[in-house]
Amino acid sequence: MISISIENLVKKFGANTALDGLTFRIEPGELFFLLGPSGCGKTTLLRNIAGFYIPEGGRILFDNDDVTHLPPHKRNTGMMFQSYALWPHMTVAQNVAFGLVERKVAKSEIDKRVADALESVRMAPYASRKIAQLSGGQQQRVALARALVIRPRALLLDEPLSNLDAKLRLEMRIEIRRVCKEFGLTAIYVTHDQKEALSISDRMAILEGGHIAQIGDPQTVYRRPKSKIVADFIGETNFIEGKVLDSTADGAARVETSLGIFHGVVSDSAWRPLTGESATLSVRPECWRIELAKPAQNAASGRIGESVYLGEVAQYEFQTTGTPLKIFELNPDLTRRPQDRELYATADPDDVVVLRK
């Protein structure tokens, strides 16, 4: 296991700065995700770490080794691509062995390591098959085995599951985490799929415009986004504009909005909102509760408009005097939700995140 340190990394393409002074550290054995909208720099960052791009400034360290200017084959990283990049004329075993053959490893060692790699991804019975005879999920396992067989210092994954259907993506994301943890691999995973990141990552970085918007574990990033960009990108949320009435040193704040006064939590420890300052509240749809009687605090009055029943959850449009609220209810009973009378949507202060406008 190795740590990976990014220090003041800068990458430019002509006049465009794709990465603007990034600095962070990935711990040994960590499954670390890079997320963000298209063009944010996540794939560019991964390709710098892999050695496909050379940055204009900064350093990339594997433990204490500076690999910034090393070519890819000297970094000893395993790479999984979105397209799989498997050779159709070769068997499964030959595809997995390819990197070892290029490194001129002895045949007996190749056979052993290929067998071990295929066993680890549960593809040993398919060793003699051609790639065209495999399903998409099986091809992805072969690509993972090929990345593992060289015994990489780190595993780099560039949207590896985007070509699979929903059921296979769920199966493979669990499989990738299992393999990474069993092998003790430090892994960096680029994706646009928030569910993948929330379900299997140890930590994640949200990128925006070549900068890091936030780094943290999945629960912290989801429940305590530090900006509107992060709150909007990870999951769904309701944004409510308002002005700060007061705030405390321990991160509590009261904000006056068109829906009423809301008590919430300031997630960015570097910001102490001032009285009268504009702010935005972020409240996740599943954090609202619908009540018949008006709660003592954090109450928005309105009526239920459109509703969508999905079995385990119902999605409501809660019509207020201002912007409608999106509300999710688990294990719903729609017969208990009268649509012809005034109701109240409420959220606990711990679920109301106060953000800079």
Q: Per the domain annotation, does 231 fall within a domain? A: no
The string of DSSP letters for 58-113 reads: EEEEETTEE-TT--GGGTTEEEE-TT----TTSBHHHHHHHHHHHTT--HHHHHHH
CA distance 307 to 253: 32
Verify that 204 and 246 share a domain, yes or no. Answer: no
CA distance 229 to 214: 10
Sign for the CA dihedral angle at 115, 28, 76, 36 comes to positive
Verify that 40 and 153 share a domain, yes or no. Answer: yes
Q: Per the domain annotation, does 276 fall within a domain? A: yes
Q: Per the domain annotation, does 11 fall within a domain? A: yes
Mention every residue, 6+ apart, whose C-beta is less than 8 A from residue 53: 11, 44, 47
pLDDT of residue 166: 82
CA distance 214 to 187: 19
Mention every residue, 6+ apart, whose C-beta is less than 8 A from residue 50: 72, 75, 77, 79, 156
CATH number where 181 lies = 3.40.50.300
Verify that 162 and 193 share a domain, yes or no. Answer: yes
How much is the mean pLDDT over the chain? Answer: 92
Predicted confidence (pLDDT) at residue 58 exceeds the cutoff of 90: yes
**Residue 193's closest CA among 215, 218, 216?**
218
Share of the chain above pLDDT 70, in %: 98
| pLDDT (tens digit per residue) in 65-79 | 999 999 998 999 988
Domains: count for the chain: 2
CATH number where 292 lies = 2.40.50.140
Q: Per the domain annotation, does 230 fall within a domain? A: no
- Three-state DSSP at 149 gives helix
Q: Which of 223, 255, 272 is the last residue of a domain?
A: 223
CA distance 60 to 153: 14
CA distance 99 to 147: 8
pLDDT of residue 83: 77
Verify that 260 and 118 share a domain, yes or no. Answer: no
Verify that 241 and 99 share a domain, yes or no. Answer: no
- Residue 144's CB: how many other CB atoms inside 10 A? 26
Cross-strand pairs, 329: 314
The arithmetic mean of pLDDT across residues 331-345, rounded, is 77
pLDDT of residue 192: 87
pLDDT of residue 311: 86
Verify that 217 and 265 share a domain, yes or no. Answer: no
Q: Per the domain annotation, does 155 fall within a domain? A: yes
| pLDDT (tens digit per residue) in 200-240 | 999 999 999 999 999 999 999 999 999 999 999 999 999 99
Q: Which of 161, 191, 223 is the last residue of a domain?
A: 223
Classify the phi-psi angles of 61: left when phi > 0, otherwise alpha if psi is within -120 to 50, otherwise beta. Answer: beta
Q: Per the domain annotation, does 229 fall within a domain? A: no
| pLDDT (tens digit per residue) in 105-128 | 999 999 999 999 999 888 999 999
Q: Per the domain annotation, does 228 fall within a domain? A: no
Pair of tokens at residue 246? 């007061």
**Residue 84's closest CA among 143, 127, 165, 12?**
143
Verify that 158 and 91 share a domain, yes or no. Answer: yes
H/E segment holding residue 356: strand 353-356
Verify that 16 and 88 share a domain, yes or no. Answer: yes
CA distance 139 to 81: 12
Verify that 130 and 253 share a domain, yes or no. Answer: no
Domain encompassing residue 350: 236-356
Buried b (16+ CB within 10 A) or exposed e, 173-201: bebbbebbeebebbbbbbbeebebbbebb
Verify that 169 and 311 share a domain, yes or no. Answer: no
Verify that 283 and 307 share a domain, yes or no. Answer: yes
Q: Which of 190, 223, 256 is the last residue of a domain?
A: 223
Verify that 210 and 241 share a domain, yes or no. Answer: no
Q: Per the domain annotation, does 256 fall within a domain? A: yes
- The model's confidence at residue 84, banded by pLDDT at 50, 70 and 90, is confident
The string of DSSP letters for 110-144 reads: HHHHHHHHHHHTT-GGGTTSBGGGS-HHHHHHHHH
Q: Which amino acid is at 112?
A: K
The arithmetic mean of pLDDT across residues 312-338, rounded, is 85
Predicted TM-score (pTM) of this structure: 0.88
pLDDT of residue 338: 65
Predicted confidence (pLDDT) at residue 2 exceeds the cutoff of 90: yes
pLDDT of residue 242: 96
CA distance 37 to 112: 42
pLDDT of residue 335: 63
| pLDDT (tens digit per residue) in 276-302 | 999 999 999 999 999 989 999 999 999
